[in-house]
Amino acid sequence: MYVCICHAVTDEQIHDAVADGADDLHAIQSHLGAATGCGTCAEYAQKVIDEALAKKLSYAA
Ligand code: FES
């Protein structure tokens, strides 16, 4: 599902980026361009990042 329409970034891409070490909104903006256009997706992008981080931590535990 698209999180960022401006840059066609999906939740799956964000999950993959977080798994590869992009662990905050700034890193996701740099890596994928998400939330660097109109900005309306920033809050939801952060939520997806938080979910991905929680998933990553649960695998590490
Ligand atoms: S929808 Fe993500 S920057 Fe516009």
56 in Cβ contact with 18 (< 8 Å) = yes
Residue 60 has pLDDT above 90, yes or no: no
pLDDT tens for 3-57 read 999 999 999 999 999 999 999 999 999 999 999 999 999 999 999 999 999 999 8
Q: What is the pTM of this model?
A: 0.93
**13 C-alpha to center of ligand 1: Å?**
15
CA distance 30 to 15: 15
* Protein residue with least CA distance to atom 4, ligand 1: 38
33 in Cβ contact with 10 (< 8 Å) = no
Domains of the chain: 2-60 (1.10.10.1100)
